[in-house]
């Protein structure tokens, strides 16, 4: 709604909208591009969980075992998780996508990023993906922080243009 309002008020160019998020925000960014496929020219997800069934039932890394599955049953329900999993809805994504992950991430294991990438490619979409060795849930090594920042800037330049400005 906020994005639509910004467009209506001429604060944003409807042809130059990208959505970005990390962790839960990565899930939200990809789910946003599923729910509003014509709104976004690009979407960026970093260290995200994109398959809620995998998060709840097939947690190889152990992070989610500390959270009782009953919490998921109360908040998400344990049925129809595919309906709210971006990796299961990749065929609806029209935006260009950039995904990042850390190989040692036990909060959002890189299998989520890999499955999201594979689903987008299978659907005929476009996706750039990087999985950083030696990283967990975020980039802590300076070389990876710089690489990710440059990837994001290059991706934005290619997809919404380098001359982004804010209208008065």
- Dihedral angle computed from the Cα positions of residues 33, 35, 38 and 40, in that order, rounded to the nearest 10 degrees: -30
Mind listing the pLDDT tens digit for each residue in 121-153? 999 999 999 999 999 999 999 999 999 999 999
Q: How confident is the model at residue 55 (pLDDT cuts 50, 70, 90)?
A: confident
Report CA torsion sign: 52, 57, 60, 62.
positive
* 78 class by beta-carbon count within 10 Å (0-12 exposed, 13-18 middle, 19+ buried): middle
Q: How far apart are CA 168 and CA 165, in angstroms?
A: 9
pTM over 0.85: yes
32 to 144, 149, 159: CA distances (angstroms): 26, 22, 17
Strand ranges in 25-126 using DSSP code E only, listed in sequence order: 42-46, 96-102
55 to 50, 99, 104, 164: CA distances (angstroms): 8, 18, 16, 37
Mind listing the pLDDT tens digit for each residue in 1-43? 999 999 999 999 999 999 999 999 999 999 999 999 999 999 9
Averaged pLDDT, 80-85: 85
How far separated are the first and last CA of the chain, in Å rounded? 20
Alpha carbon of residue 20 to chain centroid: 7
């Amino acid at each position: 709604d906020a994005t639509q309002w910004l467009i209506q008020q001429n604060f944003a160019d409807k042809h130059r909208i990208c959505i970005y998020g990390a962790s839960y925000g990565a899930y939200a960014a990809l789910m946003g591009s599923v729910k509003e496929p014509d709104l976004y020219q690009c979407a960026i997800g970093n260290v995200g969980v994109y398959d809620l069934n995998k998060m709840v039932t097939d947690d190889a890394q152990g992070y989610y075992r500390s959270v009782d599955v009953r919490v998921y049953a109360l908040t998400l329900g344990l049925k129809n998780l595919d309906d709210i999993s971006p990796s299961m809805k990749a065929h609806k994504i029209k935006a260009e996508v950039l995904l990042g992950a850390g190989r040692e991430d036990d909060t959002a294991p890189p299998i989520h990023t890999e499955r999201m990438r594979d689903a987008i490619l299978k659907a005929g979409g476009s996706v750039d993906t990087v999985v950083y060795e030696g990283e967990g849930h975020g980039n802590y090594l300076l070389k990876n922080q710089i690489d990710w920042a440059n990837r994001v800037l290059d991706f934005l330049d290619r997809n919404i243009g380098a001359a982004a400005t804010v209208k008065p």
